[in-house]
Amino acid sequence: MSFSATNFAQPRPVPVGIRSNEKSLSSDPFRFRFRGSPSFLGSPHSLRFNPTPPLKLAIPHSRRSPAAAVTDVSNGKMVKSSANMLFGFVLQLITKEEGLELYEDMILGRFFEDMCAQMYYRGKMFGFVHLYNGQEAVSTGFIKLLKKEDTVVSTYRDHVHALSKGVPARAVMSELFGKATGCCRGQGGSMHMFSKEHNLIGGFAFIGEGIPVATGAAFSSKYRREVLKEASADHVTLAFFGDGTCNNGQFYECLNMAALWKLPIIFVVENNLWAIGMSHLRATSDPEIWKKGPAFGMAGVHVDGMDVLKVREVAKEAIERARRGDGPTLVECETYRFRGHSLADPDELRDPAEKARYAARDPISALKKYMIENKLANEQELKSIEKKIDEVLDDAVEYSDESPLPPRSQLLENVFADPKGFGIGPDGKYRCEDPKFTQGTAHV
């Protein structure tokens, strides 16, 4: 897959308020006319139709719906990218530094997750571990554009979001090992990554329950700007979640509130087509999630989530919209997870041909190819990045191995921010004053 100008920045455009002409799709759910995108073929045999060979994602402008691109709506101008495409410009999308940064971040994500799998099978970590292999383009494409004060909310597949946001690999790894030096002192685990310093507010185990929290963070940002009059408060919030979540009520309730109050939030759907063993097509009446944005009056965009540069383009626009105060965006990233849902998932249900098709679109190899073809980097530089990441990870594992396990005294420490909440004991003193409290053996 090449990264020529014809392929890049082709988000499925949907204007706010203009009805798409795809109404006919809903009448026969099995005859979607996907505009050249083969990705929705990821369904069980019985539902498959017309298996088309993997198409290049070049979509000539004329075949697209007459709807204009997202930027069109807010600016009222013709979209620049199509103009460029028409004239066949090859745009320089990223500088060398940016490219290396993106590459390093994706390699960190991939190698970290592979190391997690190794450590899990060696018995260093337990429970549910959900790995992000294959989806790195989404995390890197979005999070690398954020400022430190911007907020990220994720789900249980949150290791790589944490890493992209800047949480050190050491902190994440020791959290997974359950050590006291973990980013959450070992109390959260794989599914609850938090970092106040890096503004990562979770890590949620139930799908959908992070979306209202993200909406709250965005509300906070708007409140600071408008009520507290902090001029610099233009922080945006990114909420990452999957295709399964898009059938959950909390998702829709938050789309409504975010659009209603024009909150600075971006809803990023990582549509990897599978919710454990449930195919997205089997669970959803209208599988095109980006269309649900305009239903609430916000921009809805579809992007190829295996291509970090495309994701980055869409992300840039969405983040700028949110920072300006023009409200939320719903971005559907079509992506794929190369491993099972979690390390406990045998992953027998997905078609090997589908997996192979997506493996060929590995975002890391794609970026590598792009950088080398466009003379942004050579093999040597990329190899040295990989080596560097290997060292970072070895150090993280060593650090985590040597870190202490949480002592008993930690058991009761963080239940309440104000430990008076444990109440008054029979002796008249607050329970938190009981020396056994600090030892973790107090009866509360």
Please enumerate in sequence order all residues whose Cβ is within 8 A of that of 299, keeping only pairs 6 or more positions apart, or say none.
14, 15, 16, 70, 73, 74, 293, 318, 321, 329, 330
Nearer to another protein, 291 or 431 (CB): 431
Please enumerate in sequence order all residues whose Cβ is within 8 A of that of 329, keeping only pairs 6 or more positions apart, or say none.
70, 266, 267, 293, 298, 299, 300, 301, 317, 318, 321, 322
Q: Are 279 and 30 in contact (CB under 8 A)?
A: no
Indicate whether 127 belongs to the interface with another protein (CB under 8 A).
no
Indicate whether 195 belongs to the interface with another protein (CB under 8 A).
yes
Window of 79-87, 245-253, 268-276, 394-402 that interacts with another protein by CB under 8 A = 245-253
Window of 25-33, 66-74, 197-205, 325-333 that interacts with another protein by CB under 8 A = 197-205
Q: Are 218 and 264 in contact (CB under 8 A)?
A: yes
Task: Out of 35, 185, 323, 339, name the contact with another protein by CB under 8 A.
Answer: 185
Task: Give 134-149 as a DSSP string.
Answer: T-HHHHHHHHTT--TT
Number of residues in the chain: 444
Alpha carbon 130 to its chain centroid, in Å, reads: 13
Nearer to another protein, 386 or 413 (CB): 413
| In the complex, minimum distance from the CB of residue 290 to another protein, in angstroms, rounded to a whole number | 21
Task: Out of 5, 25, 117, 184, name the contact with another protein by CB under 8 A.
Answer: 184
Indicate whether 212 belongs to the interface with another protein (CB under 8 A).
yes
Indicate whether 352 belongs to the interface with another protein (CB under 8 A).
no
| Beta bridge pairs of residue 269 | 241, 332
Indicate whether 141 belongs to the interface with another protein (CB under 8 A).
no
Q: CA 12 to CA 115: how far, in whole Å?
A: 35
Amino acid at 368: K
Nearer to another protein, 222 or 312 (CB): 222
Window of 43-51, 76-84, 134-142, 192-200 that interacts with another protein by CB under 8 A = 192-200
Nearer to another protein, 222 or 302 (CB): 222
Which residues contact another protein (rule: CB under 8 A)?
Answer: 151, 153, 182-189, 192, 194-196, 201-206, 209, 211-224, 226-228, 249-250, 253-254, 256-257, 260, 413-433, 444
